[in-house]
Structure 1
Amino acid sequence: MMFDWSQQRLLVIAPHPDDEVLGCGGLLHKAKSAGAEVYVQFLTVGDTADVSDKGFSTASERVGEIKEVADHYRWDDWHIAFPGDDYHLRLDTLPRFEVANIIERQSPISVTSVRPTAVLAPHRLSYNQDHQVAAEAVHTALRPSDARRRHHPCLVLSYEEAADQWRQEPAPAPNMLVELDEAAIEAKIAAMRLYGSQFHDHPHTRSELTLQSLAVLRGMQGGVAFAEGYHATRMLA
């Protein structure tokens, strides 16, 4: 199936800065290069303990990284819904209604405001609690309704990350593959490098070799060189 990305308006829901690159960084390059609009709704960012030499990254550092990545991709806009340590890695303490409302109508780049043709979000089977909250909130925000009264994106996709394989339920195979060229893979890896606090050497789920390997695997499954895998929840032609 051929898909005209040039006519799309993408809204990506990223629980944290870097999830949008890990999950759909190749597609973001492909779509934006074709002429699409791209908006990224981050749910939260805060000080983060990590395995770097310093042992942590600050929220201000990570916001600075977002700005570099946004310039790299030429996003049309981005927004952080729940900044601060009260929410970072604690989104499961919020009522789903509050998170879904941000996505549906309260954010400056909400579904109601942006009227995206495609929404991309994490998969609900991620081990990470913030990812699970994001996936369920998107599912609620995009519930079936009268399209004359509420905006219905025609394409709703769950993106995958290598770390999602760490879960007890069997990982379903993607039911949609998006072909990528070498430039899209290079752009994805370059963007991940801009998230310097989150990028790691191999072996790590956020290493260059991991990103390349997953793209090669998904590409092989589609008979092409590179691809990203998605789970389509809604696809209205």
Structure 2
Amino acid sequence: MTIDWAKERILIFAPHPDDETLGCGGLMSKAKAAGAEVFVQFITVGDTADFSAAGLSTAEERFREIKEVADFYRWDDWNIAFPGDEYHLKLDRLPRFELANAIERHSPLAIAELRPSVVITPHWTSYNQDHRATAEAVHTALRPSDNRMRHHPRLVLAYEEAADQWRYEATTSPNLLVELTEEHLDDKITAMRLYGTQIHGHPHTRSELTLRSLAALRGMQSGVAFAEGYHTLRWLA
């Protein structure tokens, strides 16, 4: 079974800037080349303590990185729902009602406004509290209902990141594998390099070798050179 990406309007939810590239960087390259619309809804961004020489990545730096990555991928639009240190790495303190409502109705890229055909969310087994809060809120926003009253995307997927394998619940292999070419994978690596505050050398979960290795593993599992793995949450055929 194949997907004609040229016909799709894709909405990707990224808890933080870089999650969309780590999880969907190859698919975004493939889909945009085919003619798809791609939108990215970031949930939050703020100053982040890290292992750089400065010991901190500022929100301003990360905004600049987003703009470079957006231009590189030619996203149709992007938005940050809850910018600022009061939300960054604290989404688990935000009421689910407020977060789900932003995702469903109140953001400029809300599901009800954009009416995407494909929604892609983080995986709920991530150890990161912002990832888990985002995943659960997207599930709430996409709860079953009468599709004459609420928009139901035809395809709902959860993307994987190498770091997610740390949790003991993350034992189920992806059940949808998207074949990537070398060019798609190179685009993913290039975009990750544009997130200069976030990429690291090997053996980090956000290293180039890690991204290439995971793509090679998922490719091997599907009999091709490279692939990205996704968990299918809904597929209306």
Is TM (by shorter chain) over 0.5?
yes
Which residue of 2 is the match for residue 167 of structure 1?
A: 167
Quote the residue 1:184 is aligned against.
Answer: 184
The answer on whether the counterparts of 2:92 and 2:130 sit within 8 Å (CA) in structure 1 is: yes
Match of 1:45, SS state, is coil
Identify which range, 152-161 or 170-179, moves more after superposition.
170-179
2:128 is matched with which residue? 128
Distance in 1, matches of 2:171 and 2:72, equals 32
In 2, Cα distance between equivalents of 1:206 and 1:52? 14
The Cα shift of 1:169 comes to 2.0
Question: How many residues align structurally?
Answer: 237
**Would the alpha carbon gap of residues 179 and 55 (structure 1) be closer, same or farther in structure 2, given more than 3 Å must change?**
same
Moved over 4 A (4+): none
Aligned-partner Cα distance in 2 for 1:165–1:183: 26
For structure 2, the 5+ residue unaligned runs are: none
**1:117 aligned partner:** 117
CA–CA separation in structure 1 for the residues paired with 2:136 and 2:193 = 29
Equivalents in 2 of 1:171, 1:108: separation in Å?
A: 35
Equivalence for 1:138: 138
- 2:84 is aligned with 1:99: no
TM-score (norm 1): 0.99
In the other structure, the counterpart of 2:214 is 214
C-alpha distance in structure 2 between counterparts of 1:216 and 1:192, whole Å = 17
Question: After superposition, where does 1:1-237 map in structure 2 within 5 Å?
Answer: 1-237=1-237
1:161-220 Cα deviation digits (max 9, x unpaired): 000011132421101100010110000000000000001111100000000000000000
Cα displacement string for residues 66-92 of structure 1 (whole angstroms, at most 9, x for unaligned residues): 000000000000000000000000000
Instruction: State the secondary structure of the residue aligned to 2:43.
Output: strand
Offset from partner CA, 1:25-76 (integer Å, 9 cap, x none):
0001100110000000000000001111211100010011000000000000
Determine the C-alpha separation between the residues in 2 that align with 1:146 and 1:26.
33
Give 1:223's aligned amino acid. G
Q: Which letter does structure 2 place at the counterpart of 1:151?
A: H
Fraction of identical pairs, as percent: 70
Taking structure 2 as the reference length, the TM-score comes to 0.99
Inter-partner Cα distance in structure 2 for 1:2 and 1:194: 31
The superposition leaves residues 132-164 of structure 1 with CA deviations (integer Å, 9 ceiling, x where unpaired) of: 001000000001111111110000000000000
DSSP-derived class of the 1:145 partner:
coil
Deviation at residue 222 of structure 1 after TM alignment: 0.3
Question: For residue 70 of structure 2, what is the amino acid of its counterpart?
Answer: A
The 3-state SS of whatever aligns with 1:83 is coil
Q: Would you say the 8 A contact 2:49–2:56 is kept in 1? A: yes
* Runs of 5+ consecutive residues of structure 1 not aligned to the other structure: none
Q: Distance in 2 between matches of 1:170 and 1:195?
A: 26
Separation in 2, partners of 1:168, 1:233: 20
